[in-house]
Structure 1
């Protein structure tokens, strides 16, 4: 029993030795703690185009009563397209053609995307890596407080 324990400890030590020499990451070089990313973002290296350009799919959360009780889901309302050249457009889905249709320019920080449209400015608050939200009334959506967005790329 002691021989097996000693053998197991020796094998574990032999396997871990190469990892010690390369900073614990097993691939050579130095280990990263993740602090580099936070420092580069807070140091002014944020690239809004890289982070946000593409299609943002807008929807509202809906609830209703059914014979089985309260039910919920989402309803697609519109898409916001942010272009690399700084232009943008808002296009409603076919079922909601009466919603805001507009174009203009956009700018962003790490926490907000501002659309400068012909009908006025709209601010989308970034809530996650690929999520945002805005005031639904800004997009001519009645009866809802918030419109949610998912980034489609």
Structure 2
């Protein structure tokens, strides 16, 4: 049976999140990269200015977030990190990467272009494919492990 690139990516990232990821570095040396929420402790928070959730709405207040990159491939297309974000609503327009997230703490609601609402809670896994359009609504502060694949735009 032939798998699509996205199915293969989802299977590999699920494995990476369920146990320490085997990470290849320069020169063929291999080491284990562990992704854990405790990496967020003591890390400074940054501020992110958000666009309106829906065009025409008022600008949203800035939100606080912490992101700790744990692995980046040599070609810079695969990135694994641990993240914490304050409650927010974010429009997703032509999402630039395939992104797998293991939600560890919090609650998220995603509304797709058809208006279908799906709610995710602690322990749920989410896969947002490149090109996705919709609304990402965090109903609480969240903490999650993320594995992204693709060309990340500058500043992304």
TM-score after normalising by structure 2? 0.27
| Larger gyration radius, structure 1 or structure 2 | 1
What TM-score do the two structures reach when normalised by structure 1?
Answer: 0.27
Q: Which has the higher contact order (CA 8 A, sep 6+)?
A: 2
